[in-house]
Amino acid sequence: YYKNPESTASTKDAEGWVATGDAGFIEESSGHLRIIDRAKDVGKMADGRLFAPKYVENKLKFYTSILEAVVFGAGREMCTAFINIDLNAVGNWAERNNIAYASYQELAGNPQVLDMIQAHIEEANASIAKDEMLSGCQIHRFLVLHKELDADDGEMTRTRKVRRNIVAEKFADLIEALYAGKTEQYTETEVTYEDGRKGKITATLEIRDAKVWPTSGKAAA
C-alpha cells in the first residue's frame, strides 16, 4: 500500500509472502501455474468437482451480447446461470433484424434473443468441456434476467463487481426454479429509479436447458 507501511505489513505472512486471494492449480501438461478465480468464490460441486464461477462468467462475457453473467453451482449437482444482455449490442442486433421492442425487459424476453444467448452458452460449454479440471462447470440451465443488475439496487458494487450473496438472496425464487426443472418462473423485483423512488417490476421468465458435453472431469483436491 502506497505510503502505508502498516497495511502493507498486514498483508504479509511471517516469511514475507503476500496472499493475492487468487485460486489456481499447476497444469500437468505444462507445469505452469494457472489462475482461475478469486479464492473466496471457488468451491466444489456436489460430486467433488471444482466450481469456479468467474472462469465461466468470463467466457460468457466474451460475447458482446452478454453484459453480465452470474453462475451458481457450489454444492450442487450442476451449474446454472443468470444472464444480463448488453442493451446496446443486442438492441443494435434487434434493429438490424427488424425486431421491435419497447424496453430492456421486452428485449431480454424475446425468443430470438434467448436463442442467441443459448447458442453462446452452448459454444462456451463446448470449450469448458475440454478443460479437464473445470469441465464440470458447464451451464446446464439458464435464464435471462428481466432487469440489469444495478449498484443502486445493491446487486453490484460501484466498480461493477457482482455481489453474489445479495443476488442469490434477492433472486432466490429464480435459483430455485432453475434447479427445480421449471420452464418458467413468475417473479417480482424491487427496483430503484433514477430519482431515488422505489418501485416494483414483475415478469414471467423463460428458463431453458443448454446442451452440455460429456466430460471426465477430476474431483477437486
Average pLDDT over residues 152-164: 93
User: For residue 41, what pLDDT is reported?
Assistant: 65
Angstrom distances, CA of residue 199 to CA of 85, 112, 150, 194: 22, 29, 14, 11
| Residue 144 and residue 60 in contact, taking contact as beta carbons nearer than 8 Å | no
DSSP H or E segment with residue 54 = helix 53-60
Q: Map residue 111 onto helix, strand or coil.
A: helix
Kindly tell me if the per-residue pLDDT of 40 is higher than 70: no
Q: What is the pLDDT of residue 219?
A: 54
pLDDT at residue 63 tops 90: yes
Q: Using pLDDT thresholds of 50, 70 and 90, give the confidence band for residue 1.
A: confident
The lowest-confidence range among 71-80, 166-175, 212-221 is 212-221
The residues, any chain, with a CB within 8 Å of residue 25's CB and separated by 6 or more, are: 33, 34, 36, 133
Quick check: 160 pLDDT over 60?
yes
Q: What is the pLDDT of residue 28?
A: 66
Position 188 pLDDT exceeds 80: yes
pTM above 0.95, yes or no: no
Asked whether the predicted pLDDT for residue 21 surpasses 80, the reply is no
Answer yes or no: are the C-beta atoms of 154 and 191 closer than 8 Å. no
Give the pLDDT band of residue 37 (cuts 50, 70, 90): low
d(CA 60, CA 93): 18
- Going from N- to C-terminal start, the domains of the chain cover 41-209
pLDDT at 2 over 80: no
Over residues 9-38, mean pLDDT: 70
pLDDT score of 93 more than 60: yes
Mean predicted confidence (pLDDT) in 32-43: 66
Q: What average pLDDT does this structure show over 95-104?
A: 96
CATH of domain 41-209: 3.30.300.30
